[in-house]
Structure 1
Amino acid sequence: MKILRLTAVAALLLISTASAFAETTLRIGLAEDPDILDPTLARTYVGRIVFAAFCDKLFDIDEHLNIVPQLALSHETSADGKEVTIKLRPNVKFQDGEPFDAEAAKFSLERHLNFPGSFRKPELASLDHVEVVDPLTIKLVLKAPFSPLIAQLTDRAGMMVSPKAAKAEGDKFGLHPVCAGPYKFVERVQQDRIVFEKFADYWNKDNVFIDKIVFLPIVDATVRLANLKSGGLDLIERVLATDIKDVRSDPNLKLSTAIELGYQGITLNIGHDKNKGPLSQSAKVRQALDLSIDRAAINQAIFNGEFKPGNQWINPDHPYYQKAFPLPGRDIEKAKALLKEAGVKPPVAVDFMVPKGDETEAVAQVVQSMAADAGFDMKIRVTEFATSLKQAEAGDFQAYMLAWSGRIDPDGNSYVFLHSKAPQNYSAWNNPAADKALDDARLETDIAKRKAIYEKLTKLEMAEEPILYLYHRRILIAHTTKLEGYKQMPDGLVRVIGLKLK
């Protein structure tokens, strides 16, 4: 009997020891496979979700859109607005063991600014050069005052990379990225998985409780949800609005939401349309397409009224929203009249590129049906997301259903898409007055004066319609109740600091 009791005790000790050292893995289902994992060259929303796990920034945001310290502790702007001094956090290491200091911060910012093909260059366009003041202080010297600067540093422009790794890898850095975040890169299998493991020397390691994170791209939202329900995933992004009720009724799941900072819209090819279709040749034709669309009806039909219809690059709750330009109503007769004025006879054939995805395709089909009433033949071409971006760059589309995840400053939702020299100006819209407004807004820090500048831009954009803004999504993140400490931010990212998995 005594031997049996001792055996039982030994077994219990083995079980408790195994439990104490059991590795925890957080499995996150993504709606797409990200593009390159290099913060200088990346441009996808889903990529930003992955970056949040391994690439810390100089600053971050909280749930109220306040800018808070991350790798930087503070910042101070000179009276003329042309110098910004930033104090850095001490005792920070990159995931290759190299120290993060002022020289490393200088290197990262200059790489964002000067590396060939950088998508961060327009975000830091006003930056002239970076000075090292002391080992933990840098000074950003600007060409002119730049009001969105600190807001830009809460995103990829503020992500710090290891100088040693970046120099060694060059343009292949995204294959083996090294940053200063809580998790370090292990492996990536395209269209299958991206694996990270906890970084033992992370500066905030006491708030990192999960050992490993695996990102799994699963395009089909129904399959993502099924995997979450079955226990194959622990968290999924972009739950379908039609599945909200199902998630909320499941006692094992929790839904976290917030209205996004970005938008869903249709980019219209104005300057790069090789076929010179009517949409690219006449603003009246673009206005006619806009008038054929009922934004409120799209919201009700596809999203159960959960999203926010919109007609601007910021949502109606944003302090910079232009109330002088309210949501337009659908007007088929006026749309037909505009086509007639433009000398265009229906049907107007349009190559409509639509990234693969349940809700995006559903919206495209509704737009197709609505536009047909006004005389448009929207020929939907479903395309894998990363491929669609490449085709957009090449101008191989006439209309492109494109979402933008959004930034806290209105500049981050407008400049990169509307300025004639911006790399993501897929419409190839070129309007000197709009360029001036975009540039002027970057110089102004007074909110009222800045808003007045954006009013001019809004008027110009709505007259020429390079982008038809449709709605602002509700960020819908579902996760198992075993995951504790999750908070949803308006930028839609999944922050892993403080999370625990029971």
Structure 2
Amino acid sequence: MTAFGAAAQGATTLRIGLAEDPDVLDPSFSRTYVGRIVFSAFCDKLFDIDEKLNIVPQLALSYETAPDGKAMTIKLRPNVKFHDGEPLDAEAAKFSIERHMNVTGSFRKSELSSVDHVEVVDPLTIKLVLKTPFAPLIAQLTDRAGMMLSPKAVKEAGDKFGLHPVCAGPYKFVERVQQDRMVFEKFADYWNKDNVFIDKIIYQPIIDPTVRLANLKSGGLDLAERILATDIKDVRADKNLVLSTVPELGYFGLTINIKNDKAKGPLSQSEKVRQALDLSIDREALNEVVFNGEFTAGNQWVSPTHPYYQKSFPIQPRNVEKAKALLKEAGVALPVSVDYMVPKGTEYEAVAQVVQSMAAEAGFDIKIRVVEFATTFKEAQAGNFQIFQINWSGRIDPDANSYVFLHTGAPQNDGGYSNPDADKLMEEARAISDPAQRKAIYEKLTRIVLNDEPIIYIFHRKLLFGQTRKLEGYKPMPDGLVRVVGLKLN
């Protein structure tokens, strides 16, 4: 009795507050940023990234690309186990990658579309044989496409795998109550268990940022993501809290439904109407009003500080008269009525209201429709929107910020945008590894996309995390994910 009491007292639980409830906890089918935060605790990947965006080994020890760029050989870490005790060997790695590539509805398909097949070289070595050279492949394997799943668990659970996922990470899945909590316990046989110091992690989706911050202040949470920019001073003034900030890799934009708009509204029919909407938005003013000027205005899929940002296409200043002239040229009836779908959330809704008010001056009648976060993705895939206001958390390679949303038929191209010239450029950029050559290709792509405007890019967030001073070892990362290995609670 006493021994049990002592053990229970010594147990530590880390509580992390999320801004949304993730979609399915299955790496092949997940689309959400919050889902990726949760995966960090229980689904290790072949590779990871460090604070400087270098690619580092995780479940793999090393990789080698063939001289012709058409194969990648990966050596796996020995003695790794899945949470069900099954070994992570070359057969299991081959199975995981092939599932991401082939299972119906997988969002990893386009990320791995260059892979022709996977070969087992020896018990701890696999070879990815490619159809064409593919520069971003190693970067794709630092995210969900590189997450390893227990073949036994996948075969037993089938399409229900996401209800009880089994991976090879530091924590194992215990339970999930939708909209309430996800619970994970330390995995005793984890390959890096000597650096895992916390016994249990509970992720709690708390959509209201004011409530999320109140929970952090009261000790109900130990770490909270997406603190409001307007709450920065408040967090910094609290002696029990620490604020961490890091620029995000992704973008915040308006996806326009071009092909799947059932109403065939003016936005879907004319790029001039889309350009008019873009010109009606003052990005700097929006940043000041909603985010106290803490974020970075943008007009491309990478931020102005990114090496692949195209400086020859700077952000256009707001121009209401030109916007009106474009609407006149397009010959549309005014006001232009628009269905604008926005995920539920204080900042999301504030952005939508500012865009609504600015666009009204140019001749747009924007009708804001607030939808529960995970449901917005289902609505988007079904084509039930004219504008989908969405944040993309971003990846280290520019391909992953563009191809999946802009290429014809790509799985997250919710608006059905299709331009053969743009497709060709995205495919070319994937096959070349020289940064200067790739940047020149992306410059041509930027010209096309900024004319067609399938997505109106507005700004790039600064990731704001609040934590209790009792939490040690937390480092904010540019991908916004919480690495739980090495964390300690005093």
Q: Normalised by the shorter chain, which TM-score bucket?
A: over 0.9
**CA distance in structure 2 between the partners assigned to 1:290 and 1:20 by the alignment:** 57
Partners in 2 of 1:19 and 1:450 — Cα distance?
Answer: 56
- Counterpart pick for 1:187 among 175, 179, 182: 175
Is 1:94 the counterpart of 2:82? The answer is: yes
Partner SS, residue 133 of structure 1? strand
Q: Distance in 2 between matches of 1:441 and 1:77?
A: 17
Q: CA RMSD in A?
A: 1.2
Q: Deviations over 1:63-103 (max 9, x none)?
A: 00000000001100011000101111011000000000111
Match of 2:108, as an amino acid?
R
Distance 2:90 2:397 in 1: 26
Quote the residue 1:4 is aligned against.
none
AA aligned opposite 2:482: V
Q: How far apart are residue 18 of structure 1 and its match?
A: 2.5
Displacement, 1:219? 0.4
Partner of 2:45: 57
The aligned amino acid for 2:359 is A
Structure 2 distance, partners of 1:166, 1:298, is: 45
Which string of whole-angstrom CA distances, capped at 9 and with x for unpartnered residues, describes residues 240-267 of structure 1?
0000110011010011110000010001
SS at match of 1:478: strand
In the alignment of these two chains, the number of paired residues is: 489
State the AA in 1 paired with 2:213: L
- Is 2:122 the counterpart of 1:134? yes
Aligned partner of 2:418 in structure 1 is: 430
Residues 1:242 and 2:236 aligned together? no
- Per-residue CA shift, 1:461-501, capped at 9, x if unaligned? 01110000000000011110000000011000011000000
Q: Structure 1 pair 100/234, CA: closer, same or farther in 2 (3 Å)? A: same
Structure 1-normalised TM-score?
0.96
Q: 1:152 corresponds to which residue?
A: 140
Distance 1:425 1:16, change over 3 A: closer
Aligned AA for 2:463? I
Match of 1:293 in 2: 281
Q: Which residue of 1 aligns with 2:383?
A: 395
3-state SS in 2 of match to 1:380: strand
Aligned positions of 1:99-110 closer than 5 A: 99-110=87-98
Cross-structure match for 2:267: 279
* Displacement of 1:385: 1.1
Which of 416, 435, 456 is 2:404 aligned to? Answer: 416
Partner of 2:210: 222
Mapped partners of 1:467, 1:45: distance in 2: 19
In the alignment, is residue 385 of structure 1 matched against residue 368 of structure 2?
Answer: no
Between the aligned partners of 1:298 and 1:73, the Cα distance in structure 2 is: 45
Shift of 1:17: 8.0
Pick one of 309, 314, 318 that aligns with 1:321: 309
Q: Which amino acid aligns with 1:483?
A: L
2:102 maps to 1:114: yes
Following the alignment from structure 1 to structure 2, what is the Cα–Cα distance between the partners of residues 302 and 428? Answer: 30
Residue 211 of structure 1: how far off its partner (Å): 0.2
Q: TM-score normalised to the size of structure 2?
A: 0.99
Instruction: Show the counterpart of 1:364.
Output: 352
Deviations 1:178-229 (A, max 9, x none): 0000000000011111000000000000000000000111100000000000
- In the alignment, structure 2 segments of 5+ residues that lack a partner are none
Structure 2: how far apart are the matches of 1:349 and 1:450?
39
Hey, what's the Cα distance between the residues in 2 that align with 1:421 and 1:125? 12
**Aligned match of 1:255 in 243, 250, 253?**
243
Equivalent in the alignment of 1:460 = 448
Please report how far the alpha carbon of residue 345 of structure 1 lies from its aligned counterpart in structure 2 after TM superposition: 2.8
The one of 248, 251, 257 aligned to 1:269: 257
* Cross-structure match for 2:200: 212
Q: Which runs of 5+ in 1 are unaligned?
A: 1-13
What SS is found at the alignment partner of 1:451? helix
SS across alignment from 2:369 = strand
Residue 132 of structure 1 and its aligned partner are, at CA, apart by 0.7
Q: Does 1:484 align with 2:461?
A: no
Q: 1:337 is paired with a residue of what secondary structure?
A: helix
* Residue type at the aligned position of 1:159: M
1:202/1:331 CA distance change after superposition, 3 Å: same
1:23 and 1:389 mapped to 2: Cα distance? 38
Residue 9 of structure 1: aligned partner: none
CA–CA distance in 2 between the matches of 1:329 and 1:180? 49
Shift of 1:23: 1.0
Identity across aligned pairs (percent)?
74
Give the superposition deviation at 1:426.
1.0
| Paired residue secondary structure (2:411) | coil
Measured in 1, the distance between the counterparts of 2:253 and 2:188 equals 42
C-alpha distance in 1 between matches for 2:258 and 2:118: 37
Aligned to 1:11: none
Matched residues in 2 for 1:319 and 1:232: separation?
40
Partner AA of 1:119 in structure 2: F
Q: Secondary structure at the match of 2:119?
A: strand
Q: Which moved more, 1:422-431 or 1:177-186?
A: 422-431
Cα offset, 1:15, TM superposition: 11
Aligned to 1:373: 361
Q: Which residue of 2 aligns with 1:497?
A: 485
SS of match in other structure, 2:10? coil
